[in-house]
Structure 1
């Protein structure tokens, strides 16, 4: 069995690698190839413990997604994310449960709602890959990725409640709500505390191999601990990932460069394996249920597939209009509070904008339009962007993992082998959404011309402002360093220092002359032509210059003048420069 799993994983990675190389949707290709391979007579039937698969795949995938997510953008898009991540999952569970119970009443109310919760959460992996390739606007990508982080916790909580009911336990509505509140509270706390510990280790240990290994192991420990304490393991892992990712600029550049390829590889392996496993299992699952109940399960799967596709756009457009309505109500309430001066503008009645007061003044100052936009208005989505979000409902790893774990979650207590029906429906819905939506989503994005051109223009403006601020801070830093060089090496060092400084400034502006300036000074030092100045002095000067640029980018981001996504791109470029600097230094020492 162990050897079979290794072969499946190796084959899945190979097929996914070819798909990525050719620009094809890897999840769909892997599932299709595995489906074809399953009909070969020498391919064995592979069974994996459901809870094991759930525990082995969810924590690292969720942690990796949270690491890459922008906490600031997530917070701004929270109204959209909350509606889709909680509201849509609940609506899916209720509507699909209603449909499933009336089509197949023998599965029971709990089983029907259980099915609705399993197929409820879409997976942003496929949609995000397509969106990045085609250049979807950042606000759309934030909504999709944020939804996928929240809806997993909602779905898993609902699944556990109705799985307990299906297994024979008695659960009231209030107990179910308490279960959800407990899952959220315990999950977030359990996630934040280890996240703080991991961040401290990452900043204090100068060993990316050790901290990277701890990062691989801790999501599993956090997930298991939170589930043991009746919290949401999903939210615990997401909270830890958000905390560590948000504070990653405070770690060393080698740590950041080590993290990115590590987690991309983990995601690639796990996602490829899960989709391959589904393709291999799907024929045997369908044969089992059709031999027992004929085509009833296939009819149910077809209706549920149609339902999940139709429900999403109705909910996306309807909930968006509802959110816009309440936003207008809040704006009117805020304006009335400010104009009437009868309500404390910092109270709940005057929300959602906190009004700052002038020093030594009684009356509040009305905030600027930008402040209102940032603190009141949720990100607007055009009807084209809402349509793209509506069609990005492909089911994926979470639905599959929950389906595989279903026999263990229900303690094999559902009567008449109906667990196999639910598993078959979940498989068919996942493959169906990948086929129908995954293949047509790129055509929809291109047809509607939903692009990130506005994001690119905004990013360029932010980078230009940041470079101006970094240049000013860098010049101040170089002036301070010039004075210390004169004190240490004498006036004869000024010419070399100025030439080297001009090289740093020119590199920042993208000029090739900068590298030539640095090389000329370095070569003179190598032959002993500039007094007591050493290469280590130039190395430290360059490191300080990079540290100033990082500090300015970090401060600009925290001040709201630079988006977190752009800050990470700036940090990646500076990290690459520091890697080149350290590589040159190590070669010279050799």
Structure 2
């Protein structure tokens, strides 16, 4: 497919996403529906991308952005639950689907059925996280879903590699599946860590926000390709790189942080819109491939619906069986058990929501399209068309069934954490206390030691002004959630200040257009106005949440 058509698809996907957001519709579902319908429109070319392009270009920035913003503390705190869902759950799903599909579908050998199991095993949490964020899922549940999405692709793609090799007869570098899995993990983590440290070192030396941002943009692609080059997990390399740089965000210059805060959300929006549109556009080509192989379409799609049912049911079965098992072990060890929550502090309602947040995504379709056409011996890969058809039905089916019902389930079960607001307030109070102490300590030291190039009298005068400013800012932060009058006044101030900035900008641009103001001077002045307006907008947005 040529570049112009691909760009048109991207533009159309963004436009449809904007339409869906405007009418408060679920963006992934609308994009898949529109894409599926468009695939049958005469004259619309088939959009077929290589799996290497999807996995190497689309996936890395999405994973990196998620890891960059994800709290490593939350990841470590919920590591047990994340690994059980992101790795063990993937293996359980792949095996369950593999054996069921082998029993159900005559065209699939056991090896090919396990390939199918690996293809449909990893959930894509993009849609679930979007719904959860909108409906206010507790932060711990959001952390588990996000953490799961960061590791499950690596587990599934490793299983996929092993399963494909067993069918095709292709020799992999390490014969032992366990050692191969361990190498994938270790290699990916090491590559991501080393590259992130290199980028951090280079960033600390160049001191140029544009170049620093470019380095951040290039890193996920570099990490993925470098890890894949040594046959390690590119997914884990990207995630590790995101974690490492996310932990040292405070070391980055302010202009770089401001730029990256704008760049990555835009990248996420663009790629996610394209991903779901791409999923829908595959419908016609999937049907055509089944027909080319001489298979009855209605039989294959009936098989696919049964596999879809298994995929949906395995997740809640695993979560609740595993939770019950751990609770029994805990009681046998005579530890204090809660009547309403599991050992990780999740209620049965929260576990039910997690079990229903298993929508599949683009990794499933990319892996399905990556199934080779033939074995090493030259024989056709058994059931390749069936695998692609089932993968499409599972990806779209989970997105439609679970995506449509997940919001209702969240509302009906009321999974809110009553203590979360208290913990958030405590963290905010701690942050204010730390900020206040650090400010007072520095100002006290500055009062004693002075500032180079300034007289003591001028330093003392300015220090008092700075001290009042710091206290006012911290006091405003402390009271804005509790005193409605002050909050309203602050919002009014920011609104008026923003409007003044807009008026100033318009007048400056008008003066430039009239030839009264130089472009370079205009840009310099606008830079300052932009920073002020961004701060005012951020405060207004925070108050409106």
- Paired residue for 1:504? 470
- Paired residue for 2:503? none
Counterpart CA distance in 1 for 2:279 and 2:471 is 54
Contact kept, 8 Å, 2:170 with 2:376, in 1: the verdict is no
- Paired residue for 1:427? 392
- Paired residue for 1:555? none
Residues 19-71 of structure 1 show CA distances to partners (whole Å, capped at 9, x for unaligned) of 22332221111111111112211211232222222211121111111111111
Contact kept, 8 Å, 1:165 with 1:171, in 2: the verdict is no
- Paired residue for 1:455? 420
Aligned runs of 1:25-174 on 2, under 5 Å?
25-169=26-170
Paired residue secondary structure (2:387): helix
Shift of 1:142: 0.9
Q: Find 1:436's aligned residue among 382, 401, 404.
A: 401
Quick one: structure 1 residues 232 and 497, their matched pair in 2 at CA, closer, same or farther if it must change by over 3 Å?
A: closer
Quick one: structure 1 residues 579 and 47, their matched pair in 2 at CA, closer, same or farther if it must change by over 3 Å?
A: closer
Residues 211-235 of structure 1 show CA distances to partners (whole Å, capped at 9, x for unaligned) of 2212222222221221221211111
- Paired residue for 1:18? 19
- Paired residue for 2:263? 262
Contact kept, 8 Å, 1:76 with 1:379, in 2: the verdict is no
Shift of 1:82: 1.0
Quick one: structure 1 residues 111 and 475, their matched pair in 2 at CA, closer, same or farther if it must change by over 3 Å?
A: same
Shift of 1:303: 0.7
Quick one: structure 1 residues 251 and 381, their matched pair in 2 at CA, closer, same or farther if it must change by over 3 Å?
A: same
Counterpart CA distance in 2 for 1:481 and 1:193 is 39
TM-align CA RMSD: 3.0
Counterpart CA distance in 1 for 2:174 and 2:465 is 74
- Paired residue for 1:403? 368
Residues 379-429 of structure 1 show CA distances to partners (whole Å, capped at 9, x for unaligned) of 311111101100000001211221222237978966377212111111111
The answer to which of 144-153 and 482-491 deviates more is: 482-491
Quick one: structure 1 residues 305 and 469, their matched pair in 2 at CA, closer, same or farther if it must change by over 3 Å?
A: same
Paired residue secondary structure (2:231): coil
TM-score (norm 1): 0.75
Shift of 1:248: 1.4
- Paired residue for 1:316? 319
Residues 195-246 of structure 1 show CA distances to partners (whole Å, capped at 9, x for unaligned) of 1111222333322221221222222222122122121111111111111111
Paired residue secondary structure (1:43): coil
TM-score (norm 2): 0.81
Contact kept, 8 Å, 2:439 with 2:470, in 1: the verdict is no
Shift of 1:330: 7.4
Counterpart CA distance in 2 for 1:237 and 1:126 is 21
Residues 93-129 of structure 1 show CA distances to partners (whole Å, capped at 9, x for unaligned) of 1110011111123321111001011100101111111
Q: Which runs of 5+ in 1 are unaligned?
A: 336-376, 517-574, 582-590
- Paired residue for 2:295? 293
Quick one: structure 1 residues 327 and 206, their matched pair in 2 at CA, closer, same or farther if it must change by over 3 Å?
A: farther
Contact kept, 8 Å, 1:194 with 1:240, in 2: the verdict is yes
Q: Which runs of 5+ in 2 are unaligned?
A: 337-341, 480-485, 494-529, 537-545
Quick one: structure 1 residues 37 and 153, their matched pair in 2 at CA, closer, same or farther if it must change by over 3 Å?
A: same
Residue 489 in 1 paired to residue 492 in 2?
A: no
